[in-house]
A and B are shown apart, each in its own frame.
Chain A
Amino acid sequence: MTTPRSKAKPSLTKSATGIAGFDEMTGGGLPQGRTTLLVGGPGSGKTIFALQFLAHGALAGADPGIFVAFEESPKRIVANCAGFGWNLAHLQQEKLFFLDAQPTPLLIQSGNFDLGGMLAVLGAKVDAMKVRRIVFDALDIVLSLLPDPAAKRREIYRLHEWLLARGITAIITSKDDGDETGATSIQPFGFMQFMVDCAVMLNHRMSLGVSERNLRVQKYRGSPFDENEAPFVISNEGFDVAISRMSRRVGLKAANERVTSGVKRLDTMLDGGYYRGATVLITGLPGTAKTTLSGAFAEAACRRRERTLFVSFDSDGVEVMRNLTSVGIQLARHAKSGLLRMISGRTITGSAETLLVLIKKLAREHKARCLVIDPVSTLSKFGNELTAHRVAERLIDWSKSEGITLLCTSLLDEMSGQAAGSGSLHISTLADTWIHLNYLVQAGERNRGMSIIKSRGTAHSNQVRELILSNEGVTLADIYTASGEVLMGTLRWEKERAEHVANDTAAIAAKLKLLTLDAQEAVLEVRVKSLQTELMAKQVEKTLLKQTSESRQGELKRGRKRIRELRGADDAPSHGRN
């Protein structure tokens, strides 16, 4: 594994150590054909580091190796490292040779001596096995037998020359005085640090009663490297160095896929749910239903047939499942089918780093696509807060790089308000979606309110909703704001009732009005009809009247004519009558 930077310099090739994180820190491992000094206090993990380097070479790269044990018998080393799964016993047959170089206690010394014997023996082995890697574990032991600093220096030179001549990648481990700067103050090793091409310091210290291991690359000739101190843990797979965030983020793809939160209205508020691979933070006081929301998310994930890991630090996994049943979240069957894995974090002890390594390992084992950590604020319980913060940061980086949708809850204590809502871990800035839950105590009631403080890349609601837990599940309700006051719970219910009644009354009133209008309309219609009838009667009367008068006039005319006929009168000129 090489970085682009080291590709530009083909002169310096590197030997992978197989140590998670360390190869990334150094851009590929230790300098090939050169010597690396590994300095650390007692129990800092020097032997394991060195042995992992050899085992990796023998297993993966097929580089045979030699382990020169000055301090412990090879048998004990192999037995102690049996748990790491490196299969040392098998490798020992042809790929790995242990040289027992413990000084004999009964050794009598008379005059000067050198390490020529050891180098002769090793030289023969190197040639026979075609050795590419070698470890001198606890070289300080043998150097301490040498009478004076000049002799020590001479032997270090001899060893160095011997290694360079053969082009073997070597690790020399050595104790330091316990304090960090001690290694440089001891004369021969101070000198050695200048001589070697790469120096790595391991330290193991206690921080507030919690063990903390750190690794630092002090120098690396001819290659850029991560200069910061990096925490590491020794797990059952060997070393695991926690590397800084940027190095693994390369090539990260952002998903557009949404996953449901398990609460329908919350999805609506988030414009479709969380993003796949996003980090969701749920903060709130104790009892604000953080676990319930986590459970809803986990159940929804299991329904999609996605493997889910639920790490609960507060209560036992079985208890969590039982408790969530009361709000209609059924996790037990998913746990039974193997989709869901519940982890009770209370049984885990160790530093925040250890927790992270464990969570990562469990998630890998379970092939989890969704991960719930309830609450992530537990991390700050172990050791100092700065470490916990870094761990939380790396947890998020890791879950993103793995494409795991991560939901963390974070407990806020009573004292810290929403302003300090990020909690001690300050992960709120890293989280993609931050949902805050709080209580509203009002009119003798405590009700849960939920709001989305942020949600990157999604249109999200600005509304505060009331979170209602019932045995049918989790629902969200609108809250009422009346004259600047937020109404929840019974007050909201009352307000709803009042509105309901008002609506009913209005509906009835409208109905009544309609009826009245109908009646009035009917009356008017009747009146219209009677008037029409009257009108018709009048018209008939009028017609009759006309007819009568016409016939009378006709009669009169005919009558006059008849009289004239009877009188035999002639027609008088009309003007004559005037």
Chain B
Amino acid sequence: MSRHGSFKFRLYVADDTLNSVQAVANLTAFCHTYLQDRHEIEVIDVFREPLRALADNILMTPMLIRFAPLPLRRIVGTLSQTQILLQALGIEDAGS
């Protein structure tokens, strides 16, 4: 998706439940706004790949894991609150 790929995300979702669908949409929109061309997103459905979910210790969905830059960061929920996401991911809001 991106040439630079300085942000690597893995988003665990549970099938097409409302929370999961929202999370995918929110993350895509967020990245589009703040991390244009600077991110990679891998979406994993826990029902299709439960062993990967187990390996990553996924209990709650949707769960976003940031692999890069380190350290690892885990954010749970529909990712609806942009401010929290910006803070958690350490991204400066270019708009503010």
Contact = CB atoms under 8 A, between A and B. Distances in A.
Nearest to A118: B59
A116 to B, nearest CB: 3
> How many interface residues does chain B have, given as a range?
20 to 34
Contacts of A113: 19, 60-63, 76-78
A108 B61 contact: no
B74 A116 contact: no
B75 interface: yes
Interface string B69-96: 0000111111111001100100000000
Nearest to A97: B54
Contacts of B73: 106, 108
B58 interface: yes
B33 interface: no
Interface in A122-140: 123-125
Interface in A94-130: 99-101, 103-104, 106-121, 123-125
A110 to B, nearest CB: 4
A329 to B, nearest CB: 66
Given A115-B60, A117-B12, A117-B61, A109 B47 contact: no
A121 B53 CA distance: 6
A507 interface: no
B22 A111 contact: yes
Nearest to B48: A120
B6 interface: no
- Secondary structure at the A interface, as helix, strand, loop or mixed, is mixed
Contacts of B26: 111
Contacts, number: 105
B31 interface: no
B54 A124 contact: yes
A374 to B, nearest CB: 56
Interface in B22-68: 22-23, 26, 46-47, 50-51, 53-54, 57-63
A142 interface: yes
Contacts of A120: 14, 46-47, 50, 53, 61
A100 to B, nearest CB: 7
Contacts of A124: 50-51, 54
B74 A112 contact: no
B81 to A, nearest CB: 5
Nearest to A123: B50
Nearest to A115: B60
A273 to B, nearest CB: 67
Given A100-B57, A116-B15, A117-B61, A111 B79 contact: yes
Contact of B78 (A106, A110, A115): A110
B80 A110 contact: yes
A100 B59 CA distance: 9
B15 A108 contact: no
Given A117-B59, A118-B59, A121-B54, A111 B47 contact: no
A111 B76 CA distance: 8
Contacts of B23: 111
A109 B75 contact: yes
Contacts of B60: 113-118, 142, 145
A326 B84 CA distance: 85
A556 B29 CA distance: 196
A113 B74 CA distance: 13
B50 A111 contact: no
A110 B46 contact: no
Nearest to B54: A121
A561 to B, nearest CB: 175
29 contacts: A99-B54, A107-B76, A108-B73, A109-B77, A109-B84, A110-B84, A111-B26, A112-B19, A112-B77, A112-B78, A113-B60, A113-B63, A113-B76, A113-B77, A114-B14, A114-B60, A115-B60, A115-B61, A116-B46, A116-B47, A117-B12, A117-B14, A117-B53, A117-B60, A118-B58, A121-B46, A121-B59, A124-B50, A125-B54
Given A109-B84, A115-B60, A123-B50, 5 more contacts: A107-B74, A110-B78, A111-B77, A142-B59, A145-B60
Interface of A: 99-101, 103-104, 106-121, 123-125, 142, 145
